[in-house]
Amino acid sequence: MSTTWEERVLRAAHPVAVPALRASRRPVQRIPRLGVLVRDAAVLRSVLMDSDHFSKSGPGAPSDLWTPVLGPAVLLNMEGADHLALRRKLGPLFSPSYVDPLVARSLPSAALTERLRRGETVDLVAEAKRNASIMISQLVGLPVDEVDDALFERVSSITRFVRLSRPRLTETQAAAARQILADLTTHARAAWREGDESTVPGRMRGLGLGEEEAMGAVGAFVLTGTETLVSYIPRLIALLVDTGWMPRLANDAALVEPAIAEGLRVTTPSPVMLRSVVAETSIEGVSVRVGDRVILATFLANAAAGAFDPIGNPAASLKQLWFGAGSHFCLGAPLAMAQTRATLGALLDAGPVRIVERRAARGVLIPSYASLSVTAA
């Protein structure tokens, strides 16, 4: 069941790209009009670790997509000393000691447990969006009641412009994205200028980020972090219910962390990563030239480790490859893990749950459910 629904979710998001990438059986292969595909985990990690030959900045890389929207100085499109300096400044914002209490006091986990215990049917996609909106409000300094579904949809509309076959946004799309982020960062700019460290922008100022650095960081986190979580958490719960693992986790808390890691491996919320070749080299015998686009198919590399298995935990051998590697390992990983633990914990506290109804989302960048309704079993 779980593989069937995971397959539906993947294909609903990318009905052409997923089969096309899967058709390759080689660890590394050049695919016309797309780039050089890497699907082997060890090779993929070596590319991520090699910043001398492969970069986030260049033709076909994330910079092509995000620099016209966010500007030139955000973690998504930087390399080298400037990237490391900005990452060091931002690091304290995403330490477990900061994000764990932030999530604990911000997300209504206890209320979710009570709703399920009362017999309500809960759409976990709507719940994940609500929680993501709360985190957006923290990031941009907005009152939480102003971060509604309409605002979340405006943010999501930016990522819906992106396709694997489209290396950059059109000027019209980029302009629309800039306007949405400008509306959001109006509040973030005010919070940064006030220097109120109860807000994330104010804390960024206290950590030494200039105003434009802080606004770029806010935009990057809003764009890349929230939708990934809205994808992953419902997919994890569906996977646990379909495979019969929810009762086992309720009875053995030691299995929760391996189950979350295995869920990340199997679902891989960010299915591919992109790099641009900046110095001529070869990848497993395939020559690559400056300007070539490299498609790192993390969803294929992770899937090769086998079926979902929290006891065997093949995810452990991959060293969290779904979050990247090296200097570009996802800075927001502790926040993502904290939100995941909070939601899963709320469901486990509610007792066994069953899926009432679900529907895969179509035409989205990050494979996800459009709805996933659960109730207490």
Q: How far apart are CA 193 and CA 202, in angstroms?
A: 7
| Antiparallel, parallel or unpaired: β 369-376 and 122-123 | antiparallel
CB burial of residue 72 (10 Å; 0-12, 13-18, 19+): middle
3-25 residue pLDDT tens: 589 999 999 998 988 888 898 88
80-115 residue pLDDT tens: 888 888 888 888 988 899 889 888 888 889 999 999
Q: What is the pTM of this model?
A: 0.90
C-alpha distances out from residue 284 to 26, 42, 46, 288, Å: 10, 11, 10, 10
**What confidence score (pLDDT) does residue 246 get?**
96
CATH code of the domain made up of 2-376:
1.10.630.10
Closest CA to 218 of 190, 176, 241: 190
**What confidence score (pLDDT) does residue 213 get?**
85
**What confidence score (pLDDT) does residue 2 get?**
44
Q: How far apart are CA 331 and CA 353, in angstroms?
A: 32
Q: Give yes or no for a contact between 260 and 225, defined as CB atoms under 8 angstroms apart.
A: no
**What confidence score (pLDDT) does residue 147 get?**
66
Which contacts qualify for 160-167: CB closer than 8 Å, 24 or more apart?
160/363, 160/364, 160/365, 162/65, 162/365, 163/17, 163/365, 164/14, 164/17, 164/34, 164/272, 164/295, 165/16, 165/17, 165/33, 165/34, 167/59, 167/60, 167/64, 167/65, 167/293
Q: How far apart are CA 7 and CA 121, in angstroms?
A: 25
Torsional sign, CA 247, 248, 254, 258: negative
**What residues of the chain score a pLDDT lower than 70?**
1-3, 143-148, 164-167
